[in-house]
Amino acid sequence: MRALGAEALEYGDPKVRELEANVVFEPIGADTFSDSVEALAPEGALVTPGAVGNPMVSFNLWTVVGKRARIQGIGMAQASRETMERLISLAGEGTLQPVIDRELPLEHASDAHRAIEARETFGKVILRP
């Protein structure tokens, strides 16, 4: 994404509220929802699959009304076997390269969970046996 000009921002960075984005993907919940609403451009859409954190959100409704924005929940259909096989094949070929934040031995699983919950990771955390 950086190669396309995207800038990575930390959760809570004040710049998020000034983005004026056409679409904001908001998977976190209470801790970031208000910032995501503020980040919307006029007639923008906030899209959420739910919340990995607290689902009880609070935000300024007048921000949504004033921007003529919308909030949309999405669900995901189960991926077909063919889709999964294709994705595995692409990953095996090196075409898909997932972002891996860190690799830890299995006995450090509790450390991995703490880091994910504290949002200290960017990408996947791999546990090795």
Residues 54 and 102 in one domain: no
CB 39 within 8 A of CB 17: yes
Residues 46 and 69 in one domain: yes
Would you state the pLDDT for residue 113?
93
Q: Residue 26: which residues within 8 A CB-CB, separation 6 or more?
A: 32, 33, 36, 46, 47, 48
In the chain, the largest separation of any two C-alpha atoms, in whole Å, equals 52
User: Could you tell me the CATH number of the domain that includes residue 62?
Assistant: 3.40.50.720
Residues 88 and 53 in one domain: no
Q: Which helix (H) or strand (E) holds 104?
A: strand 100-105
Mean predicted confidence (pLDDT) in 97-117: 92
Length of the chain: 129
Total number of domains constituting the chain: 2
What's the pLDDT tens digit per position in 17-70? 999 999 998 988 999 999 999 999 999 999 999 888 889 999 999 999 999 999
Residues 33 and 92 in one domain: no
Residues 8 and 65 in one domain: yes
CA neighbours within 13 Å on the CB side: how many for 74?
12
Strands, E assignment, 8-93: 21-25, 40-48, 70-73
Cα Rg for the chain, rounded, in angstroms?
18
Residues 64 and 98 in one domain: no
Residues 54 and 97 in one domain: no
